Homo-oligomer: A and B are copies of this chain.
Amino acid sequence: MRDFSRSLPMSLLRAREAVMRQFRPSLREHGLTEQQWRILRALAAIEAIEVTELARTAFLLGPSLSRILRDLEARNLIERRTAKADQRRSMVSISKEGVKLMASVAPNSEAIYAEITRRFGARKLAELQEMLGELEQSLAGLGNVDDTLAEG
């Protein structure tokens, strides 16, 4: 069997960890996890958004998002109101406090991102992201592997 430390999943995992390790300490100083930060950033770019759509944008599963929104709301970093037309849906938006917190984290975060870009190279970074996107695309249809390959 192929040396698993050279497998694609491991390469992706290690690369992502190398990147995230740069951001986590700074986020932590502001009492934010990586996922909470993703949510705030997604909210900052928009007026208000439904929970399901936010899950798609921030790339979080529903249950995780549900918990995190509960906590962020308790910290007054976000606001929620039920949609008028459909009582099932709730509209989420960032609060004034949330915006303030983002403003205090963003410069640091930007500086780190800039340093990563500088070290790796802007062109290579663009190439890498292009390839990652293509990888995602090429696996997009391959949803139900177990129907075709599993047990085979």
Binding site for B on A (CB under 8 A): 1-23, 25-26, 29, 34, 38, 41-42, 44-45, 57, 59, 106-108, 110-113, 115-116, 119-120, 124-125, 127-129, 131-136, 138-140, 142-143, 145-146, 149-152
User: In the complex this chain forms, how many copies of it are found?
Assistant: 2
30 interchain pairs, CB-CB under 8 A = A5-B42, A5-B57, A6-B129, A8-B113, A8-B116, A8-B125, A8-B129, A9-B20, A9-B23, A10-B38, A10-B59, A12-B16, A12-B19, A14-B59, A15-B135, A15-B136, A17-B59, A25-B146, A25-B150, A26-B149, A111-B152, A115-B145, A116-B142, A119-B139, A120-B138, A124-B134, A127-B131, A128-B128, A128-B131, A128-B135
Check A59–B125 contact: CB distance below 8 A: no
List 20 additional contacts besides A7-B113, A116-B138; criterion CB under 8 Å: A1-B41, A1-B110, A3-B45, A5-B57, A5-B59, A8-B129, A9-B19, A9-B23, A10-B38, A12-B15, A15-B135, A21-B143, A25-B145, A25-B150, A107-B152, A108-B150, A115-B145, A120-B134, A127-B131, A128-B135
Contacts of A10 in B (CB 8 A): 38, 59
Check A12–B146 contact: CB distance below 8 A: no
Known A-B contacts A22-B142, A106-B1; A129 and B11 likewise in contact (beta carbons under 8 Å): yes
Check B1–A149 contact: CB distance below 8 A: no
